[in-house]
Structure 1
Amino acid sequence: MNALYPCTIRHVRTTPRRYALRHRTYMWLIDPDRPPRLPAVLRPLARFDARDHFGGGVPTIRAGLERFLAPRGIELADGTVTMLTHARVLGHVFNPLTVYWCRRADGTPLCVVAEVHNTYGERHCYLLRPDAAGRAETAKELYVSPFFPVDGGYRMRLPEPGRRLDLTVQLERAGTRPFTATVRGTRRPATPASLLRVALRHPLSTAAVSAAIRLHGIRLYLRRTPVQPRPRHRTQEGMQ
């Protein structure tokens, strides 16, 4: 089931002034228990490391997910996990959003976890119970953009990818939707040839994502977009 998704990420903000960005990259859809087995020469282009998720204090990504879920009354047990993420590329990784679709052993949906990282080295996981269309709502709890405070909530549409990847995250504040992010792409087989093609097309892909976010932040700052103070983020239980 491992797959690659060349994709386009779009951000549109409407207040205090309209601003839009578009970034092309690629993401992986994997079973974290059975990540892709690549030739040795390509492994630096795609590493899936437990230290990059859930605080990094456990030996595997699944163990980190289980440690997050257990205090919230969810037992993964023999269930399955599908994970959408950026891989570590040449030693660097930045994952603004990683999504985990969790299913029971019989294949029925259990929950979805959306793991968000900001550019300040902080992370927060949102436990979601989406409807049949993948829609869910949750309160915002992590400072992500310096131009929005930590208030309001998210409306997310996170259907598990098939042939197409089509995710939407909208920020809601005081009855308005000042920010929308979308991720859209088309499935490709997770073969060495496919990886080589997308890696050549998007070299240092995770560093490029991080740099693009900072570049657009500088542009917004130079346009005198008001900066909101960053509160101290409280580490989640099970993510120390």
Structure 2
Amino acid sequence: MTGAPALYRCAISHVRTAPVRHALRHRTYMWLIDLDHPPELNRVLRPLTRFDARDHFAGDQPSIRAGLDAFLAGHGVDLDGGPVVMLTHARVFGYVFNPLTLYWCHDRDGTPRCVVAEVHNTYGERHSYLLRPDETGRAYVDKEFYVSPFFPVDGRYRMRLPRPGDRLDLTVHLERGGGRPFTATVRGTRREVTTGALLGQALRHPWSTLAVSVAIRFHGVRLYLRRLPIQPRAEHKSPENAS
């Protein structure tokens, strides 16, 4: 039901419209995998792709699937072993930064049950949202997690998260005070996982997630120099935050 793993060549954009207008755009690649059957790569390619349980949820479970099931159990959801598809960045040469990881969760018979959106910030914290998208993949959730130092923890997210096919097309709006001061999009095209495809992406985007992390921090400095006020950050208490 979940199919073979896939690579997506992605363009990711962040557009801020208030209180100042600013845009960030970068290219990278992401993995779509069956959470119960992650790809098995040869020894040469393994440094380019690792999926570690410590990088997701509380980071204290023996597998990412176990971490997801523990999170869902805390919200009264039991998939009964049903399939899960995960969209994420892999560790590359031991480093990973995942601003957003998505899990499309299904019952044992393949019926869509929910989506989990796991958000990481640049402070080493993480938080997960349980979503109930409609037939078009749209869902709403109150913001509960400090991400950008220039936005307080208020408002809500309006997300469009259809399961990826030949195309990847995701949108996240932050809604505050009747407006949408921030929008993030992820657009991509599916590629079969082959040695050539993976090496090609690794050569085009070496240290891909490190580059994303650096770019976010660099643009944060630019916004600070434009005198955008910093919002205070409280210690995050979510159980998904790694110790």
Using the size of structure 1 for normalisation, the TM-score is: 0.98
Identity %: 71
Cα offset, 1:4, TM superposition: 0.2
Cα offset, 1:239, TM superposition: 7.1
The equivalent of 1:162 in structure 2 is: 165
Looking at structure 2, the residues matched to 205 and 146 of structure 1 have their Cα atoms a distance apart, in angstroms, of 23
Conserved 8 A contact 2:51-2:90:
yes
Matched residue pairs, number? Answer: 240
Q: Could you list the runs of 5+ residues in structure 1 that have no partner in the other structure?
A: none
Looking at structure 2, the residues matched to 71 and 227 of structure 1 have their Cα atoms a distance apart, in angstroms, of 33
Looking at structure 1, the residues matched to 118 and 82 of structure 2 have their Cα atoms a distance apart, in angstroms, of 19
The equivalent of 1:97 in structure 2 is: 100
Question: For residue 225 of structure 1, what is the amino acid of its counterpart?
Answer: L
Q: Could you list the runs of 5+ residues in structure 2 that have no partner in the other structure?
A: none
Q: For the structure 1 residues 237 and 118, does the alpha-carbon distance in structure 2 shift closer, same or farther, using more than 3 Å as the test?
A: closer
Question: For residue 53 of structure 1, what is the amino acid of its counterpart?
Answer: H
Q: Which moved more, 1:229-238 or 1:11-20?
A: 229-238
The equivalent of 1:29 in structure 2 is: 32
Structure 2 counterparts to residues 60-75 of structure 1, below 5 A: 60-75=63-78
Looking at structure 2, the residues matched to 64 and 232 of structure 1 have their Cα atoms a distance apart, in angstroms, of 22
Instruction: Say which SS state the counterpart of residue 102 (structure 2) adopts.
Output: strand
Looking at structure 2, the residues matched to 30 and 190 of structure 1 have their Cα atoms a distance apart, in angstroms, of 10
Looking at structure 1, the residues matched to 205 and 93 of structure 2 have their Cα atoms a distance apart, in angstroms, of 13
Cα offset, 1:226, TM superposition: 1.1
Looking at structure 2, the residues matched to 34 and 66 of structure 1 have their Cα atoms a distance apart, in angstroms, of 15
The equivalent of 1:233 in structure 2 is: 236
Instruction: Say which SS state the counterpart of residue 211 (structure 1) adopts.
Output: helix
The equivalent of 2:22 in structure 1 is: 19
The CA deviation string for residues 68-123 of structure 1, in whole angstroms up to 9 with x for no partner, is 00021100212000000000000000000000000111111111000000000111
Conserved 8 A contact 2:126-2:241:
no
Q: Extract structure 1 runs of 4+ deviating beyond 6 A.
A: 237-240
Cα offset, 1:6, TM superposition: 0.7
Q: Which moved more, 1:229-238 or 1:138-147?
A: 229-238
Looking at structure 2, the residues matched to 238 and 176 of structure 1 have their Cα atoms a distance apart, in angstroms, of 30
Q: What is the Cα-based RMSD across aligned positions, in Å?
A: 1.2
Using the size of structure 2 for normalisation, the TM-score is: 0.96
The equivalent of 2:201 in structure 1 is: 198
Alignment partner of 2:127 out of 118, 124, 129: 124
